[in-house]
Amino acid sequence: MEDKKEKLPSTIINYYPGHMAKTKRLIKEKYNLIDVVYEVIDARMPKSSMIKDIDDLIKDKPRIIILTKYDLCDTKITDKWVEYYEKMGYHITCLDLTKNEATSKLVDITHQLMNELQQKRLDKGLSKKDIRALVVGVPNVGKSTLINRMAGKKVTTTGNNPGVTRNLSWLKTNSNILLLDSPGILWPKLDDEKQALNLASFTSIPIDTLPIDRVAIYILGTLEKYYPNILKERYNINRIDDDIIVTYDAIGKKIGAIISGGEIDYDRVSRTILEDIKQERIKGVTFDRIDD
């Protein structure tokens, strides 16, 4: 365990599969058709799940930031981020997409933002147009789930893994808004270590992109720092030791991750921690902090 910790790779992660570059190219081709951009981010990582070079891609198009998975976040912290982005002048809305009524506020904001454009058309004697919105974001944040909600039925595939959507496609909703679903995108070099670890913690990059124990140790450290009670309750441990390995051992014993000779199966402990976030057994957490 200790050995592995010392052999950490450099913090630059080259995870940028070809389909992401292709997606950006296709978005640029469709740029002129797009009226508004829905930038979907995960409420548990309001900073880390923002696409780094998004401005290059969408330039001056009107943008609405959508924080999904609001049901899984620490609302106290995430609400501070919402205020922060609002102060910066962004339009922003939080959604729990497990609930049906979720998207009506977003529809209202969209039509408000498009009011001027529609009015110009009416002034010219044209009819109102269907609004075309690009739905964009890092992998697995809920872009396709949002579209299905807005369509009121399953029109695009979803799944709890990064890289489920593979093509760009226009999909109809009930509210005069056409949505362009797009595959999750990142940028060529994930050179911010904390951002990469957050993306890995919440399944926005594949599990094998970073060493799994590196991610699990980061999750444990973050839970210890901000959410010790969630950590204690989840693994039924009474106290948290300063030495993270002691915590690892305690969790290993509680979940029965023991290999022959009574050693702790650290790999299994790491996988369990990641899986517990993925399967929503650890929730009520937000890892990004404004003053970090």
Ligand X SMILES: Nc1nc2c(ncn2[C@@H]2O[C@H](COP(=O)(O)OP(=O)(O)OP(=O)(O)O)[C@@H](O)[C@H]2O)c(=O)[nH]1
Closest CB 221 distance from ligand X, rounded Å: 24
For ligand X, give the closer residue by CB, 47 or 149. Answer: 149
Contact string (CB under 6 A) for ligand X, positions 168-207, x = contact: ---------------xx-----------------------
What's the closest the beta carbon of residue 57 comes to ligand X, in angstroms?
Answer: 15
**Binding status of residue 209 toward ligand X by CB under 6 A:** no
Phi, psi (rounded to 5 degrees) for 179: -115, 135
Q: In whole angstroms, what is the distance from residue 138 CA to residue 200 CA?
A: 12
**Between residues 203 and 247, which has the closer beta carbon with respect to ligand X?**
203
The token pair that represents 88 in the structure block: 């910066």
Which among 118, 94, 113 is positioned nearest to 37, based on CA atoms? 113
CB 180 to ligand X: min, Å: 12
- Position closest to ligand X via CB: 184
Report the nearest approach of Mg ion to the CB of residue 252 (Å): 35
Secondary structure of 178-243 in HEC code, one letter for each residue: EEEECCCCCCCCECCHHHHHHHHHCCCCCCCCCCHHHHHHHHHHHHHHHCHHHHHHHHCCCCCCCC
Burial zone of 157 (CB within 10 Å; 0-12 exposed, 13-18 middle, 19+ buried)? exposed
| Among candidate residues 104, 186, 115, 176, the one with its CA nearest the CA of residue 146 | 104
User: Pick from 23, 68, 110, 165: which binds Mg ion (CB under 5 A)?
Assistant: 165
Burial of 263 (0-12, 13-18, 19+ CB in 10 A): exposed
Closer residue to Mg ion (CB): 164 or 230: 164
**In sequence order, what are the residues at sequence separation of 6 or more whose Cβ sits closer than 8 angstroms to the Cβ of residue 32?**
none
Q: Does 144 bind Mg ion (CB under 5 A)?
A: yes
- Residues 119-158 binding ligand X (CB under 6 A) are 137, 139-145, 158
Q: Does 75 bind ligand X (CB under 6 A)?
A: no
What is the end-to-end Cα distance of the chain in Å, rounded? 28
Does 164 bind ligand X (CB under 6 A)? Our answer is yes
Q: With CB under 6 A as the contact rule, which of the stretches 17-25, 69-77, 171-179, 250-258 interacts with ligand X? A: 69-77
Residues that bind ligand X (CB under 6 A): 68-69, 71-72, 95-98, 137, 139-145, 158-160, 162-165, 183-184, 280
Residues that bind Mg ion (CB under 5 A): 143-144, 164-165
